[in-house]
Amino acid sequence: MVEDNGPRTPLQLSGKVFLYEKPELLAKETHGHLGLSRIERPFDFARQATAIPLTVPEIASAQKTYPIVFSDLENPLPVAVVGMSDQINLFVDDAGQWDGASYIPAYLRRYPFTVASGQGDQLAVVIDRAAANVSDDPEHPFFQDGKLTDNFQSLVDFCAQYDAERLRTESFCSKLKELNLLAVQEAKHTPQDGGQEQTLAKYVSVDSTKLNELDDGTVYELFKNGFLATIFAQLFSLENWNRLVERRMRVQSQG
């Protein structure tokens, strides 16, 4: 969270950012000598994450690989499930690389940058100072002649675009909550050897029964604002629970 105490008061960073160990507001006075260098294990920072935030435009791509659920009923936000209860990200391999055949959520692609917003339309760039690829002797400096380099300006622009998509995502989730479409459900799995059915997890999802009970006008509204396609993509993604179990079994057999 960023607080704005007036138009001439610098923004101050407070609170936590998921996966960011040491978030700091980017400033040339304190970070002018820093930049990024290539590292061998670029996704180690997400190795223990079991769910990664998503925005609405990503769900169509992410649903091909991950079960997509919502964080909770009160303040729902969509997340891609990437691991089970043992706190291991099943899409980061032993070399610290993301699975090459799987969609990489934008939340991870923007790392170690993000933006924080204050009152009005104020935005501030944030970096994780503890990120392994942030270097005092960088291959790619953040600043040149006191200004952000073109490469990092593009990344900052990407973060700002992500923030705009995050706001649309909040609107989408608010509509789901308003229509009472979310419910707690259970992911179940039956072993191939015919063993007893197992409960994998409890999660929050769109309830297809409640969706079918909506009146025609509400369905049309969801269709017009693009939310209906996103709802169906989220529901289709639940087929990936079994694939996630299979991936977990492969990882465990290799370990």
Which are the contacts of 212, defined by CB distance < 8 A and separation ≥ 6? none
Strand segments (E) across 95-197: 113-117, 123-128, 134-135, 140-141, 143-144, 147-148, 182-189
pLDDT in tens, 104-132: 999 999 999 998 876 556 678 899 999 99
Task: Please count the structural domains in the chain.
Answer: 1
DSSP percent split of the chain into helix, strand, coil, nearest 5: 35, 25, 45
218 vs 242: CA distance, rounded Å: 32
Structure token digits, residue 115: 């933006």
- Banded pLDDT at 85 (limits 50, 70, 90): confident
**The Cα angle at residue 134 between residues 80 and 94, in degrees rounded to 5:** 50
pLDDT in tens, 7-51: 333 444 456 889 999 999 988 888 989 999 999 999 999 999 999
For residue 182, give the amino acid letter.
Answer: L
Mean pLDDT of the chain, nearest integer: 88
Range of the domain at 122: 2-254
Residue 236: how many CA atoms within 13 Å on its side-chain side? 13
Q: What confidence score (pLDDT) does residue 2 get? A: 28
212 vs 200: CA distance, rounded Å: 26
Please check whether residue 235 is in contact with residue 204, taking contact to mean a CB–CB distance below 8 angstroms: no
Res 198 pLDDT > 50: yes
165 vs 159: CA distance, rounded Å: 10
Structure token digits, residue 68: 């997509």
Note the pTM of the prediction, 2 decimals: 0.88
Strand segments (E) across 32-89: 35-36, 51-53, 68-70, 78-81
